Amino acid sequence: MKITREIISDLWPIYAAEEGSPDTQALVKEFLQQDPEFARLLNDRKVEALLNLSTPILPPDHEAKALSQTKRVLYGSNWLFFSAMLFSFLALGRIISDTSWDVSPKPFIIIASIAAGFWIFFFLRRASVRRKVLSRPLRTSR
């Protein structure tokens, strides 16, 4: 298969961003060494494209919205933690207050079940947020 200028033009953005495989990088580099006029044309187009880039226009409250969204993600599970702790202490209090053996354990079981449910939801929410945060790729500067 013959490598043409059109193929190299298609591969140029990948080559310029240094995101292609080593074989792709070598192919484009070899072609550009054989055709220096086309290499100069591509480099001029790259510089021209960089000069024509404009900065994105963001709304004035963009940073405030991002901050509030971050706070909501980070602190969203506090009410689950508070509820789990509250019902855990209520269940513990029920055990301490019902020291006689003639009282039914139903209220303790109900309160302990509610506490367990809140703990499960709390840890599931925490794992979900952690997975979202850790799954985002890190942006490295070049």
Q: Is the same domain home to 83 and 108? A: yes
Q: Would you say residue 140 lies in a domain?
A: no
Question: By the 8 A CB rule, do 86 and 114 touch?
Answer: no
pLDDT in tens, 82-92: 999 999 999 99
Q: Is the same domain home to 76 and 128? A: yes
Q: Is the same domain home to 71 and 107? A: yes
Q: Would you say residue 115 lies in a domain?
A: yes
Kindly give, in sequence order, each residue whose CB lies less than 8 Å from that of residue 38, ignoring residues fewer than 6 positions away. 5, 8, 31, 32
Quick one: tokens of 115?
């506490």
**pLDDT at site 116:** 96
- 16/88 Cα distance (integer angstroms): 58
Which residues span the domain enclosing 12? 5-52
Quick one: tokens of 33?
């060494």
| Domains: count for the chain | 2
Q: Is the same domain home to 30 and 73? A: no
pLDDT tens string, the chain, 142 residues long: the values are 788 888 888 887 788 778 788 888 888 888 888 888 888 887 777 656 655 656 678 888 888 888 888 777 777 668 888 999 999 999 998 888 877 777 788 888 999 999 999 999 999 988 887 787 777 655 544 4
CA angle 86, 88, 92 (to 5 degrees): 115
Of 118, 107, 121, 127, nearest to 85 by C-alpha is 118
* Helix, coil or strand: residue 3: coil
Q: Which amino acid is at 2?
A: K
